[in-house]
Amino acid sequence: MRRFMLWGILALVVGAGLIAWPFLGGRMAQVVGWRSSPYSSQGLLETLGGYGEVPDFSLIERSGRRVTRADLLGRVWIANFIYTKCKETCPLQSAVIARLQGEFAGEEGLRLVSITVDSAHDTPAVLTRYAERYGADPVRWLFLTGEKRAIYDLASDGFRLGVVDPDDRAQAEERLGLIGPAPAFATHGSKGLVIHSSRFVLVDRQARIRAYHLPDDEQSLARLRQNVGILLREKPKER
């Protein structure tokens, strides 16, 4: 009888764990910055949820105007991190964003926001030429640059994405010692590597991070389109 009761209790514990795991797994991934397997939590991260809030920031758009978090409130936006010398993941990201720009051409409530991780090279003039290469609408697709430390902090602490400054030896050794969220290795001229996540970050009208998606996975991009549609249909709150 005692053995039967023990097996019953064990079954209840295992069952409860299986039910709770999707929530706990996603929550734990949020707490540790998704430093588990790069793809283990991807399915959860593509589900609309609450993954933090974008902090205040102040960066310079390719037009020369200053853009802050407040300028994007009231709009749904997709953020990503790139740099113009990148030869690997960044061209793919930008090509996908260009495609999304066309697919959502009629949606005034959507913004696309590409932020460079190589601000020393990617001046507004350089970003303007890069944007023209992809047919970027100057109103709907923003390209931002600014002080390097501010951008790296925004990527890692604000968007919770992996990024490593190749000029900061201590940071590089610390970050590379962890298993990060699918960092993308991109050749940086003769200087070595800039390591940064290639994920797209979906942000809602209240600057809340709602999902993460992969630019090289068509199923992930299909879910991104669905999620964008859902957020666009949400009634905007008064600013």
Query: What mean pLDDT is predicted for residues 145-170?
Result: 82
In eight-state DSSP terms, residue 54 is P
Query: How does residue 35 score in pLDDT terms, banded at 50, 70 and 90?
Result: very low
Amino acid 195: pLDDT: 62
Amino acid 178: pLDDT: 40
Which CATH number applies to 37-233? 3.40.30.10
Q: How far apart are CA 61 and CA 146, in angstroms?
A: 9
pLDDT: which is higher, 223 or 38: 223
Q: Is the pLDDT of residue 220 over 80?
A: yes
pLDDT one-digit tens code per residue, 166-190: 665 554 445 444 433 444 333 344 3
Spans of all domains in the chain:
1-31, 37-233
Residue 38, judged by CB atoms within 10 A of its CB (0-12, 13-18, 19+), counts as middle
